[in-house]
């Protein structure tokens, strides 16, 4: 693709601005249409980004008329299935916001449609694209702590959103945990086998649904991934990227989601103690600065599209992160361990 990639973006709400900021600053992208059922949203984004493209309220009309190379889906989760399948069937590639879909049945249909139409559908997982997470991952994949046995993520945030998150059944798991679960797959290079999840709504919570949860995932390679999260934490908050601990047979690695990760290996003079207490704290060379968050993910999606390769967050891979979310909700509801294979 040497010519510019023509783009129609569907959904002009909050997150659309991040996509527009990145894509309009690239010289390989040409916006040909903006769509929102609320036309004022589309017009305001067109004006804000000084675009000359057309605006629409109906995505089908825009896609049929403009026949773009690429559709960006920044609508809400329950609309993703219809926008994505229509776009793929019209011959467009699609990059969309997380989560892939609002149900496993819809997600499976979307992946099948991408296959049938021989088009790419990649999902935004911006929290994979952070220099420090890449370094944390390298500590594990370069075997600095030996063989990985367990991975733990703690997420404690006090969030007063208002709106839909305050009233839905599983706000934390449905709307947020996809980031952490996808990060766990990225860091460990392991995929989920089963999940047990207990959701709860602690005293003092201002959410109607369960704003806290604890999950245990059995992963491939005998790795156990545990998650503790809350969106109604009163103090001692973590970063939005979580506090991470990876335990290997030779050492442990820590990342607070913000600063440089480190790992600890028992000191040579303490190796034979009954209760070792001296550990060397070590750091890996930080990765050379690369594009991060949405910018990093979009850049990789576009490079992959141009080289006709699936991106890291291609729908075929990303459906496993969604299955962790849907499996956790099923487990919590049915109060039992759920096999991920039940969902796929
Ligand atoms: N990756 C991230 O960090 C991140 C952050 C925030 C939101 N998101 C995701 O982005 C998506 C959008 O979230 P948001 O916060 O921007 O929501 P939003 O409600 O602010 O925006 C969604 C827009 O889509 C429009 N829309 C709805 N149905 C439509 C249809 N049929 N056709 C055309 N337009 C339609 C709405 O009018 C609205 O303007 C969600 O999937 C959300 O989970 C991701």
Instruction: Give one DSSP letter per residue of 149-172, joined into a string.
Output: EEEEEEEE-B----GGGGTSS-HI
Q: How many whole angstroms from 269 Cα to the centroid of ligand 1?
A: 56
Distance (angstroms) between ligand 1 centre and the Cα of 33 equals 17
Contact 182, 310 (CB under 8 A): no
Q: Which two tokens stand for residue 91?
A: 């011959």
Domain(s) labelled CATH 3.40.50.720 in the chain stretch across 5-123
Residue nearest atom 15 in ligand 1 by C-alpha distance? 14
Closest atom of ligand 1 to CA, residue 15:
16
Q: Where in the chain is the domain with CATH 3.30.360.10?
A: 130-289+324-339
75 lines ligand 1 (CB under 6 A): yes
Nearest alpha carbon, ligand 1 atom 39: 13
What's domain 130-289+324-339's architecture? 2-Layer Sandwich (3.30)
Tokens 């047979």 label which residue?
A: 249
Look at strands 212-219 and 93-96 and give their pairing: unpaired
Model confidence at 289: pLDDT above 80: no
Evaluate: CB of 168 within 6 angstroms of ligand 1: no
User: 109, 76, 110, 75: which is closest to 93 by C-alpha?
Assistant: 110
> Does any ligand 1 atom lie closer than 6 A to the CB of residue 56?
no
Atom of ligand 1 nearest to the CA of 41: 39
Query: How close are the terminal C-alpha atoms of the chain, in Å?
Result: 34
Identify the CA nearest to 131 among candidates 287, 254, 301: 287
* Cα-based distances in Å from 277 to 149, 271, 280: 21, 9, 10
| Mean per-residue pLDDT, 136-163 | 97
CA distance 267 to 280: 5
Give residue-wise pLDDT tens across range 171-203.
999 999 999 999 999 999 999 999 999 999 999
The pLDDT tens digits of the residues spanning 318-343 come to 999 999 999 999 999 999 999 999 99
Q: Is 43 a pocket residue for ligand 1 (Cβ < 6 Å)?
A: no
Burial category of 95 from C-beta neighbours within 10 Å (exposed 0-12, middle 13-18, buried 19 and up): buried
Q: Whose Cα sits closest to atom 7 in ligand 1? A: 15
Query: How does DSSP classify residue 176?
Result: I
**In the CATH scheme, what architecture does the domain 5-123 have?**
3-Layer(aba) Sandwich (3.40)
Dist. CA 80 → ligand 1 center (Å): 9
**Average pLDDT of every residue of the chain:** 96
What percent of the residues of the chain are helix, what percent strand, and what percent coil, each to the nearest 5?
Answer: 40, 25, 35
Q: DSSP 3-state assignment of 309?
A: coil
Percent of the chain residues topping a pLDDT of 90: 96
Q: Which of 10, 11, 159 to mutate to test the pocket of ligand 1 (most atoms within 8 A of CB)?
A: 11
Reported confidence tier of residue 2, pLDDT bands at 50, 70, 90: low
> Which atom of ligand 1 lies closest to the CA of 77?
41
Task: Enumerate residues 6+ apart whose C-beta is below 8 A from 64.
Answer: 90
Q: How far is the CA of 97 from the centre of ligand 1 (A)?
A: 8
Residue 1 has pLDDT above 70, yes or no: no
Q: Can you give the pTM of this predicted structure? A: 0.96
- Kindly report the three-state secondary structure assignment for every residue of 235-297: CCCCCCCCEEEEEECCEEEEECCCCCCEEEEECHHHCCCCCCCCEEEECCCCCCCCCCHHHHH
DSSP assignment of 62-83: HHHHH--SEEEE-S-HHHHHHH
pLDDT tens-digit series, residues 27-83: 999 999 999 999 999 999 999 999 999 999 999 999 999 999 999 999 999 999 999
Probe ligand 1: pick from 9, 13, 42, max atoms within 8 Å of CB? Answer: 13
Strand, coil or helix: 85: helix
- Check if 88 has its Cβ closer than 6 Å to any atom of ligand 1: no
Q: Beta strand 243-248 with 251-255: parallel, antiparallel or unpaired?
A: antiparallel
The mean pLDDT of 298-309, rounded to a whole number, is: 97
Backbone angles phi, psi at 4, to 5 degrees: -65, 150
Give the separation between CA 28 and CA 57, rounded to whole angstroms: 26
CA distance 227 to 214: 6
The DSSP output letter for 99 is S
Contact 278, 266 (CB under 8 A): yes
Residues 6 or more apart whose CB falls under 8 angstroms from that of 275 comprise: none
Q: Give the distance (Å) from ligand 1 centre to CA of residue 78.
A: 10
Q: What is the pLDDT of residues 99-128, one digit of tens each?
A: 999 999 999 999 999 999 999 999 999 999
Of the candidates 139, 152, 133, the residue with the CA atom closest to the CA atom of residue 265: 139
298 Cβ inside 6 Å of ligand 1? no
* Of 130-134, 177-181, 285-289, minimum mean pLDDT range: 285-289
């Amino acid at each position: 693709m040497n010519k510019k990639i023509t783009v129609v973006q569907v959904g002009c709400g909050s997150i659309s601005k991040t996509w527009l900021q990145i894509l309009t600053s690239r010289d390989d992208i040409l916006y040909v249409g903006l769509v929102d059922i609320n036309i004022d949203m589309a017009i305001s984004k067109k004006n804000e980004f000084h675009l000359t493209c057309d605006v629409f309220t109906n995505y089908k009309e825009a896609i049929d008329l403009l026949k773009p190379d690429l559709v960006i889906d920044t609508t809400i989760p329950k609309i993703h299935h219809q926008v994505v399948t229509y776009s793929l069937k019209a011959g467009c590639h699609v990059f969309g916001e997380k989560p892939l879909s609002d149900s496993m049945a819809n997600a499976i249909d979307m992946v099948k449609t991408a296959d049938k139409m021989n088009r790419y559908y990649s999902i935004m997982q911006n929290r994979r694209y952070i220099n420090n997470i890449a370094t944390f991952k390298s500590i594990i994949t370069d075997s600095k702590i030996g063989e990985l046995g367990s991975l733990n993520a703690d997420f404690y945030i006090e969030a007063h959103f208002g709106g839909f998150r305050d009233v839905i059944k599983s706000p934390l798991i449905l709307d947020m945990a996809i980031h952490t679960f996808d990060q766990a797959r990225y860091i460990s290079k392991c995929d989920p086998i089963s999940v047990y999840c207990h959701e709860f709504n602690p005293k003092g919570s201002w959410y109607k649904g369960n704003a806290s949860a604890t999950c245990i995932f059995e992963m491939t390679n005998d790795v156990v991934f545990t998650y503790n999260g809350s969106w109604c934490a009163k103090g001692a908050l973590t970063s939005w990227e979580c506090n991470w601990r990876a335990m290997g047979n030779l050492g442990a690695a820590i990342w607070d989601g913000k600063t440089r990760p480190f790992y600890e290996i028992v000191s040579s003079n303490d190796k034979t103690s009954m209760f070792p207490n001296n550990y060397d704290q070590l750091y890996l060379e930080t990765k050379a600065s690369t594009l991060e968050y949405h910018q990093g993910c979009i850049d990789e999606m576009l490079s992959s599209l141009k080289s006709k390769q699936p991106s890291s967050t291609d729908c075929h891979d990303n459906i496993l992160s969604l299955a962790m979310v849907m499996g956790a909700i099923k487990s919590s509801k049915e109060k039992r361990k759920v096999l991920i294979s039940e969902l796929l």
